Amino acid sequence: MLRMVAQDVGAAVSGLIELDWLKFVSFDLDKTLTGYVTPSVPEEAVGALTLLAGHGIKLALVSNARGGRIERVRRIGDELSDKTGARVGTIVPSDATGQAKPHPAMFEAAAKAAGVEPGTCIHVGDQFCKDIIGAERAGFAGTVLVAPIGEGDHLGVRLLQRPVEFALRPILGYPTRTKNFPDHLHHLSPQTPPHV
């Protein structure tokens, strides 16, 4: 299992394109690619996804969105597909038998929809408990934890999950503060994933 960290999606992608076995990258949407209340993905992140797509790497958004926020995820996925020139899939809990991250069904559904094996996939997200653990449980070859970006946050995440992660991250070797995330893709584990 590859465990990596980076300041943001752009820094992560510049290192990911060097992995010759990589076929698929899924991204959390809120606080990873865009803020919780932001209506679209910033151009820097669009450029990073376009770079991955240009290397033939398949892409998807994996979000715990429910209710009215599902439409936002689908709309942003369509916009990213148009801007990157590649299909950007979208997976929400209703696409994964109702299970939300960190349940592995979310990540398994993303890999299946892309037609790839989990051992050729990496997930990028801002939450250790939901993004990193979930992708690892699904058998993804690697994960990238990025610093959260943008305005707003889900109330439950802000009040419960972020404080727990703040306590756990140093124990697990992850940075706790945005300023401590590296401006390049940094490996916390060996560079060859066990699945390959």
Level-2 CATH architecture, domain 2-187 = 3-Layer(aba) Sandwich (3.40)
pLDDT tens-digit series, residues 86-100: 999 999 999 988 999
Q: What is the pTM of this model?
A: 0.93
The more confident residue out of 194 and 163 is 163
The residue written with tokens 């376009």 in the block is 50
Is a pLDDT exceeding 60 seen at residue 193? Answer: no
Give me the residues paired with residue 160 across strands: none
Strand partners, 121: 24
pLDDT of 1-21, one tens digit each?
899 999 999 999 999 999 999
Task: Order across the sheet with 24-27: list the strands.
Answer: 88-91, 58-62, 24-27, 121-125, 142-146, 2-6, 186-187
Q: Which two tokens stand for residue 62?
A: 């994996």
118 exposure class (CB count in 10 Å sphere: 0-12, 13-18, 19+): buried
Q: Per-residue pLDDT tens for 125-173? A: 999 999 999 999 999 999 999 999 988 888 888 888 889 989 999 998 8
What are the sequence ranges of the domains in the chain?
A: 2-187
Residue 177 has pLDDT above 60, yes or no: yes
pLDDT, tens digit, 9 for 90 and up, residues 47-85: 999 999 999 999 999 999 999 999 999 999 999 999 999
Q: Tell how strand 186-187 and strand 2-6 pair up.
A: antiparallel
Quote the tokens at residue 153.
Answer: 């946050």
